[in-house]
Chains A and B, each alone.
Chain A
């Protein structure tokens, strides 16, 4: 069966459509609630995917990501509070349109350009995944290890804050992944006699603890968000609006594509860049920030495109571009699907099935965007106290339901505390989570490679692909160090000049 037939089969012969619809609906709700990012919304679903068919589970998670990117624009437009970080730029013109009484139009633009961006992104994903997976033939154990190191270094260097802290977070994640019985030799590692740790620390506990629990601990000191009218509707753009927003939509889609395939790019960066570029190329740049429809179209097209194209590095190289794709990667590993260049040749049923489900997810937004608006507005208008209470109850119940073990809740809360401390000390969380998720694969390929070289570590240099990837890692880290150094020196010079003046 070719890819197209597999996708059709998945859509018509499996419950993929149901999971795509549930995922988008849940994603819109999660995205619409300020404080619940796309990654948290996805992480909350993880415990419920246990026991599900892997393809259906990943369709559910990826559809949630798709829905959350649109959902984030609802509070951004209506209450000047972005639901997700990628919707920050939508606030600028969306809220202005809301103040001018054009909320329905603003929501309509966000919905339609999001669907267009998502569909174009999906077409690119289908077109690019095949050729990229052909490089799988050249990948050996040393190259897989080098790819893991390259991916982790990329995320550590691109994460917010200090480079050293990024690498330390990645090492902490790898160290946590070594806890439990070693699958290759059967030796107990770092269990300290605890039977609970024999199986290691489940990635799901870390994902939910680091993303959801840490966020809840941080949210507890923040005030409630503004409330809005519940009598709002969505109005799709008319011809005149279309004529005006299509260049901005294309700019957003183009930048979203580039950012999505770039590890470390992410939807937030794409939104900012596309807003700036749309303003630069607009015939009415003076209207940006004052309620310009283009100011909504560009970032919303960009962040929805990223939700699709971010699948390319995640699936083909195991390198996610954001927290949301890291959760998706965690979902893949939890369901026994090893991402990498060989994924398409090894498991085409999964890959094309996922693509089929995601096409449906993107299209269904057009209907679910309308259907889900009233419940989203109702939820946004509830007191934050109740929403937080229900989220904590859901997180705890979901975690307990996996193994029916109280110790899992304890570990999850422990990870939440670690996440909170890391946030306070400005250590990035993403490298730790990613390292934990990929830790098993990285270590297995490291040991396999050294075994292949009969204990000689120079195999990592002798293998051409491994040497190239490790060389790129060194180059990338060196460039980041130089750039950071220059940035600090420039900032110091500016401060000295200001002080002298």
Chain B
């Protein structure tokens, strides 16, 4: 009901914070008639005004819809934020990607990318089987060959870096 007003309030706070940070910026000897803070300040003012407008708009439409005589149509701009199943699923995927980011420099790129493929496919509903493991291993091999061997990009090797240093792995 008040999702837009709350969004507006958050954005208003951010606009104020953005303005104060811009205001605290040091001046430079290279500054001309316009300082480096001028444009951000302009944005902060516009952002503050529009955020306030969003809050007011939400409150006004809430008051109008609360009138007993009114039978106003549902506002298409009011978000449906309560689809918790979808948010939980998104959060789970986010968790997998976060673990991948942490694992990247620990276990190295080839292992991390293989685990990422396996974790995402299982999370998306494909059962953990020999096939899903084979796809993950094949995927890791493909990405390793493409990025590290073909494109020559230095990906992290983590715990395998000592092994790679003894020239067993190319382009490490």
Contact B33–A454 (Cβ < 8 Å): yes
Known contacts A164-B54, A218-B86: does B101 contact A413 (CB below 8 Å)?
yes
Within 8 A of A (CB), among B79-99: 79, 81, 83, 85-87, 89-90, 92-94, 97-98
State whether B35 touches A491 (Cβ < 8 A). no
Decide: A396 and B39 in contact? CB cutoff 8 A: no
A401 touches B79 (CB 8 A): no
How far is it, in angstroms, between the C-alpha of A425 and the C-alpha of B54 when the chains are bound?
Answer: 12
A182 at the interface (CB under 8 A from B): yes
Inside 8 A of A189's CB, which chain B residues have their CB?
Answer: 22, 25, 36-37, 40
Task: List residues of chain B with CB within 8 A of the CB of A210.
Answer: none
In chain B, positions 114-148 with a C-beta closer than 8 Å to chain A are 116-126, 135-136, 139, 143, 147
Interfacial chain A residues near B92, Cβ < 8 Å? 220
Residue in contact with A451 in the complex, picked from B34, B46, B53, B139, CB distance below 8 Å: B34
Q: Of the candidates A443, A488, A491, A494, which one forms a contact with B39 in the assembled complex, judged by CB atoms under 8 Å apart?
A: A443
Chain A residues with CB under 8 A of B105: 406
Q: What residues on B are CB-neighbors of A447 within 8 Å?
A: 32, 34, 38-39
- Bound-state CA distance A446–B32 (Å) is 12
> Roughly how many angstroms separate A220 CA and B83 CA in the complex, as a whole number?
13
Once bound together, how far apart are the Cα atoms of A224 and B118, in whole Å? 17
Chain B interface SS verdict (over half):
helix
| Nearest residue, chain A, Cβ from B113 | A393
Given A165-B54, A386-B121, A410-B101, A221-B85 contact (CB < 8 Å): yes
Give the distance in Å from the alpha carbon of A426 to the alpha carbon of B136 in the complex: 36
Q: Report A-chain residues with C-beta under 8 Å of the C-beta of B122.
A: 385
Give the residues in chain A near B154, CB-CB below 8 Å. Answer: 404
* Range of interface residues on A (Cβ < 8 Å): 35 or more
**Closest-CB distance, B90 to chain A (whole angstroms):** 4
Docked pose: A446 CA to B25 CA in angstroms: 19
Residue A483 lies at the interface, judged by CB distance under 8 Å to chain B: no
- Nearest-CB residue, chain A, relative to B64: A492
Which B residue sits closest to A427, measured CB to CB?
B7
CA distance A386 to B85 in the complex (A): 21
Separation of A389 and B46 alpha carbons in the complex (Å)? 41
Query: Chain A's nearest CB lies how many Å from the CB of B69?
Result: 9
**Given A168-B54, A190-B21, A425-B81: A386 in contact with B93 (beta carbons within 8 A):** no
A8 at the B interface (CB under 8 A): no
| Cα–Cα, bound, A422→B100 (Å) | 24
The stretch of A171-179, A233-241, A275-283, A353-361 that contacts the partner chain: A171-179
Residue contact B90 to A162, C-beta cutoff 8 Å = no
Chain A residues within an 8 Å CB radius of B77: 161-162, 165, 426
Contacts of B101 in A (CB 8 A): 396, 406, 409-410, 413
**Is there a chain A Cβ closer than 8 Å to B18's Cβ?**
yes
A144 at the interface (CB under 8 A from B): no
The answer to whether A164 touches B50, judged by C-beta atoms less than 8 angstroms apart, is yes
CB-based contact A217/B71 at 8 Å: no
Report Cα–Cα, A488/B11, bound state, in Å: 25
CA distance A413 to B94 in the complex (A): 8
Chain A positions within 8 Å of B35 at CB level: 185
Docked pose: A455 CA to B98 CA in angstroms: 47
Residue-wise, chain B 49-86 has the 8 Å CB interface mask toward A (1 for contact) of: 01101100100000000000011110111110101011
A383 within 8 A of B: yes
Whether A185 contacts B153 by the Cβ 8 Å rule is no
Q: Check A178/B71 contact, CB under 8 A, given A221-B89, A389-B116.
A: no
> B97: nearest residue on chain A (CB-CB)?
A413
Our pick among A393, A494, A495 for the contact of B116 (Cβ within 8 Å) is A393
Residues in B with CB closer than 8 Å to A491 are: 73
B3 contacts A425, CB within 8 Å? yes
Closest to B54 in A: A164
A334 within 8 A of B: no
Binary interface encoding of chain A residues 383-399 relative to chain B, with 1 for a CB under 8 A from any of its CBs, else 0: 11110111011101100
Given contacts A164-B54, A164-B57, contact A186 B71 (CB under 8 A): no
Q: Which residues of A contact B126 (CB under 8 A)?
A: 383, 385-386
Sample of 4 further A-B pairs with CB below 8 A, known A174-B43, A386-B135: A168-B54, A426-B79, A447-B39, A455-B33
13 A-B residue contacts at CB 8 Å?
A168-B11, A174-B43, A185-B30, A187-B27, A217-B90, A386-B126, A390-B139, A396-B97, A413-B94, A413-B98, A494-B73, A495-B71, A496-B70
Q: Which residues of B contact A (CB under 8 A)?
A: 3-4, 7, 11, 18, 21-22, 25-28, 30-40, 43-44, 46-47, 50-51, 53-54, 57, 70-73, 75-79, 81, 83, 85-87, 89-90, 92-94, 97-98, 100-101, 104-105, 109, 113, 116-126, 135-136, 139, 143, 147, 151, 153-156
